[in-house]
Amino acid sequence: MSSSTATGSAQLDASAQPPCLRIAGDWTLAHYVVLERNVDALTTPLTDATQVDLAALGELDTAGASLLVRLLGAKRMADLAREAPGLPAARRALLQTVGSALDAYRKPARKPKTSAITEVLARIGGAMESVWRQQLQLLGFIGLTLEALARSLPQPRRWRITSLVSHIEQTGLDAVPIVALLTFMVGAVVAFLGSTVLADFGASVYTVDLVAFSFLREFGVLLTAILMAGRTASAFTAQIGSMKANEEIDAIRTLGLDPVELLVLPRVLALLVSLPLLTFLAMIAGIAGGGVVCALTLDISPAMFLSLFKADIGVRHFIVGLVKAPVFAFLIAVIGCLEGFKVSGSAQSVGEHTTSSVVQSIFVVILLDALAALFFMEMNW
């Protein structure tokens, strides 16, 4: 057996009775490669009768301790106090700690390989489960909102008029320019495309009916709702989500206030007021855009446009379009507020739930609009 050197060593003296394993030198990370080869070279298995001599052990760190644990076994580390009474307490504690950690470690089981079809089906199933869970949460939150509304309506002192007016300004008045501009341009495009197609049949005059019918029944409320889903629902989620991240909602509950009544009801009521008004504005702007195109390209004067509009388009088309606005407003506001309450506390979570609120709102609006169009068509309304 060689004496202790800078580089550690482990040699088994099989001629001694009983056999003795002598550990010497520094067992540190700097000598890990050499030490690992030395440990692997000890092909003779150690028995319980083999003695361990740690008298010449030099420096020791966790890398060297892990090699000693691999060489001697984790269970034997617990007996170091008995087998090596001269070993310093710090080194004995290091060896025992590393030994217990390695003994408790278990390699994670390798996941079985699955086919691509199985993975696709699993992802579809996970997505469907997530959608179902979101719908259940949405239904529950709608119930909470309606319950808070029913509780506060009979008590005028609990009405938050200032907050309501502020949100009406933000969701309604501030959205007038973008809604009017967008629907005006879409109305102009619809009129231009309609006149181009109808001109082949000599029916360009029916462009008036096309623009009026489409904007009164569908485009006015649909475009406005989509704009509100992208503009207002995202704002609601970001506002409430930031409060959730800053623990302001917890502070509201601590003060004995209801966050739904304080934060959700003013936003929902504000959008219930704003969206029908914006829908009416969108109808007027879209029809005006179509009237401009008719005047410029079809020589249909504004007076003739209004005359045809009055003769061919009934009030029921306006009612069919406007009646959908409060439903869309309620769902957009509720979805935006719900996603805000789902924020976990980080900026990333705020962004994720803001995106989710916009996607969900637009999806729900388009889905309900399609169902409503089929229903009204079947009812011949």
Distance CA(57)–CA(84), nearest Å, equals 11
Residues of the chain with CATH 3.30.750: 9-104
Q: Which pTM value belongs to this model? A: 0.68
Out of 81-85, 174-178, 207-211, 293-297, pick the least confident.
Answer: 81-85
Lateral strand order in the sheet of 51-60: 9-13, 20-27, 51-60
Tokens of 143: 């119930």
Amino acid 83: pLDDT: 63
What's the CATH architecture for 9-104?
Answer: 2-Layer Sandwich (3.30)
Contact 160, 266 (CB under 8 A): yes
Using the predicted structure, report yes or no on whether residue 1 has a pLDDT greater than 50: no
pLDDT digits 0-9 by tens, 236-276: 998 888 888 888 888 988 888 888 888 899 999 999 999 99
Give me the mean pLDDT over the 167-183 stretch: 91
Tokens of 61: 């760190």
Contact 267, 167 (CB under 8 A): yes
Nearest partner of 211 among 121, 300, 128, judged by Cα:
300
3-state secondary structure at position 190:
helix
Nearest partner of 68 among 113, 108, 99, 105, judged by Cα:
99
Question: Going by DSSP bridges, is the β-strand pair 51-60/20-27 parallel, antiparallel, or unpaired?
Answer: parallel
Distance CA(28)–CA(62), nearest Å, equals 7
pLDDT digits 0-9 by tens, 26-84: 888 888 888 888 787 775 666 767 777 777 777 888 888 888 777 777 777 666 655 66
Amino acid 80: pLDDT: 67
pLDDT digits 0-9 by tens, 342-368: 888 778 888 888 898 999 999 999 999
Higher-scoring residue by pLDDT: 137, 101: 137
Nearest partner of 224 among 332, 313, 374, 336, judged by Cα:
332
Average pLDDT, the chain: 84
Distance CA(290)–CA(212), nearest Å, equals 8
Angle at 200 between CA 199 and CA 206, to 5 degrees: 40
